[in-house]
Each structure stands twice: as structure tokens, then as C-alpha cells.
Amino acid sequence: MLSVVPLPVIVRAPSKVNLHLGVGDLREDGYHELTSVFQALSLSDDVRFADADQLSVTVRGDDARAVPTDRRNLVWRAAELLAERAGRAPGVAITITKGIPVAGGMAGGSADAAAALVGLNELWQLGLGRAELSEIGARLGSDVPFSLHGSTALGTGRGERLLPVLARDTYHWVLALAKGGLSTPTVFRELDRLRAEGSPPRLGDAQELMHALASGDPHALAPLLGNDLQPAALSLAPALRRTLRAGTDAGALAGIVSGSGPTCAFLCADAEAAVAVGAELAGAGVCRTVRIAHGPVPGARIIDHETEH
Ligand code: C5P
């Protein structure tokens, strides 16, 4: 009998920055109640899925050595979950080309998991809808539904319940990547500790920020960016204060720690300003490397073979 081997599928999945990350109290299940305005950025991972006898994961690109290639990798678990759902063996060779910093606070692991859901849905012709993929994604990690959704969105609950947010125009960002990573659970625990000791200021609601996003003016958005995890990330990695200062000194409109850090994200007035800020930051010796990105961009999506990183 003639068996047809499906062609490999390549999926591009975006990173994210939290424009507003309000962290509420610790819940009984160990998670914090969040109010998060996410924006998906052009800095992305490409993930290739090819038919194979066995499940395997290979990682290439920046930081590849820091990424596990076994069951600890979310793509592995995504493949197992989808295979179980489809009643088939999880035979697939997965190759991740990293562009998103590892343990950087930019949802790199979640991006790969989202890519796996989209890619395997296609490779295995499962016909699952976006809502079903998102529900499976939420079981893998709080940020996975957003990595599927992309654009700009308001997340509540663990961050997994999403509503689209209108963001006019494109925003230009410079990202300062740090030498090491920070573990997300450790940063949340540090925030709990700081809160038990005193009361680091908490963000208000995100209404004003959402109005600024609808206006499309980065100058209006800049002073409203905020992250409740920032004091915790700075407490664990004090050198980031210098990085943040260097970015605004270089001409960025504002700088924040991205999610749980340690990547710092700088909002710039336009594409030209981002190039200038990026060049100055790269020379300032306050980070490992610098990337320029824009957002919003779409969530995890299939791309042509020619456009793969
Ligand atoms: O959902 P995910 O596995 O990505 O979360 C990683 C960790 O981040 C959790 O185990 C928890 O420590 C912390 N977290 C949290 N509250 C959230 C999301 C994540 O405390 N809403």
C-alpha cells in the first residue's frame, strides 16, 4: 500500500511583552490572579514539525544549550497531549530555532508550545479549532493561550482568559537581553516575600493604558507601562536598574522589565529611534545583547518554507 508522508510544517510563534502586569494575591492553587495586557512582538521562534517514527526535540539558535530536549520541554508535552487526543503515537521530529531569549520573561517556552499545537494540528490533520487549541494550551502554561492569540490582549485569571484589545499602529521596541535567565516561579515567590515584608506599590487598573493603546501614540503609552513583578526581578537581579536607566538615557520613551525578567523592554518613538537606542544600548555594556522588535504581530502561525529563520 502506498503511504503518503506529510510535508514538514513550519510555525512562527511570537514573543510577548506585558505592557501592564498587575499581580493580585496568591491563590490556593499556587497561582496569582493577574491583570495583564500582552503585546506580541516580532522577535520570534520558528518551529519545524516533520513526520518521524519517534518523538524528538532539537534546538538551534541563540541560547540553544539552555533548552531541555526531553519531557521538560513544553513542546514535548504538547505533542503527547495532542497525540493522546488524536489516539495516535506522537511520532514527530521537532526542531526549534530560538530567537526568543530563554528564561527571559518573553514567553519563549509558551511560544514553542503554541507552535506545537498549531503545527501538529496541521501535520496530523486533527481539525481542532482555535478555542480547543487554546484550552489545551492553558493546561501547558498560563501564557500559551496568548502565544496562540497574538496581537494585543487583556489576560485575566492566571493570564489565560483573553479578550482582544484595540491597539492602533505599530509600536517600536528595543529589548536588552541579560546574561542569565530568571525562573518565573522564583520571581513570583520573591514578590510574595517583598509583600510580606512591606508593601511594594501595586499597579491600578489598565483602563488608561488601554485608551492610550487605542490612540496609537507611543508618547501617551510610555508613562502608563507598568509591571508589578519588576521590584521582585530587580531584587533578584539588581544590575537591571542600570540597564533600565541606560535605555531611557539613550532616548527610549520608557523602559520596563518584561514579565518576570530579566529582559528589559524599551518603548521608542518610532523605528528610527529604536535603531538609535539599540545602537547606544549595545555599546553601553549593560546587557548581553540587544534586539529590535515591533508589535503587535499575530499569534503562532504556519509560514512558508522560504521564510523560515
Ligand atoms: O503557568 P506557568 O506554568 O507558565 O507558570 C509558571 C509559574 O509561574 C507557576 O508555577 C507560578 O509559580 C507562577 N505563576 C503565578 N501566577 C500566574 C502565572 C504563573 O504565580 N498567574
Query: Read out DSSP for 84-115?
Result: HHHTS---EEEEEEE-SPTTSSS-HHHHHHHH
The pLDDT value given to residue 12? 98
What dotted CATH number matches 9-165? 3.30.230.10
Tell me the pLDDT tens digit for each residue of 73-114.
999 999 999 999 999 999 999 999 999 999 999 999 999 999
Residue 233 in grid coordinates: 526581578
Residue located nearest, by CA, to atom 19 of ligand 1: 31
Using 50, 70 and 90 to split pLDDT, how confident is the model at 243? very high
Q: Which positions are annotated as active-site residues? A: 16, 143
The pLDDT value given to residue 126? 96
Mean pLDDT of 248-266: 98
Domain with CATH 3.30.230.10 in the chain: 9-165
Tell me the pLDDT tens digit for each residue of 221-230.
999 999 999 9
Using 50, 70 and 90 to split pLDDT, how confident is the model at 306? confident
Domain with CATH 3.30.70.890 in the chain: 171-295
Reported as type and span, the H/E element at residue 295 is: strand 289-295
Instruction: Using the predicted structure, report yes or no on whether residue 156 has a pLDDT greater than 90.
Output: yes
CA distances from 135 to 102, 112, 178 (A): 24, 16, 32
Instruction: Using the predicted structure, report yes or no on whether residue 309 has a pLDDT greater than 90.
Output: no
Across the strands, what pairs with 263?
none
Q: What is the atom index within ligand 1 of the atom nearest the CA of 184?
A: 8
Using 50, 70 and 90 to split pLDDT, how confident is the model at 307? confident
Mutate to test the pocket of ligand 1, among 188, 228, 260 (most ligand atoms within 8 A of CB): 188
pTM metric for this prediction: 0.96
Antiparallel, parallel or unpaired: β 32-51 and 9-26: antiparallel
158 C-alpha vs ligand 1 centroid, how far in Å?
Answer: 7
Residues with CB under 6 A from ligand 1: 31-32, 34, 141-143, 158-159, 184-185, 188
Using 50, 70 and 90 to split pLDDT, how confident is the model at 5? confident
Nearest to 267 by CA among 210, 207, 224: 224
Average pLDDT across the chain, whole number? 96
Query: In this structure, is the dihedral angle defined by the CA atoms of residues 78, 81, 83 and 89, taken in order, positive or negative?
Result: positive
Tell me the pLDDT tens digit for each residue of 18-69.
999 999 999 999 999 999 999 999 999 999 999 999 999 999 997 899 999 9
Fold type of domain 171-295: Alpha-Beta Plaits (3.30.70)
ipTM of the complex: 0.96
The pLDDT value given to residue 220? 98
Cis peptide before 296 (omega within 30 of 0): yes
Please tell me the distance from the alpha carbon of residue 199 to that of residue 267, in angstroms, as a whole number.
28
Mean pLDDT of 287-297: 97
Please tell me the distance from the alpha carbon of residue 219 to that of residue 208, in angstroms, as a whole number.
13
Tell me the pLDDT tens digit for each residue of 281-290.
999 999 999 9
Across the strands, what pairs with 57?
94
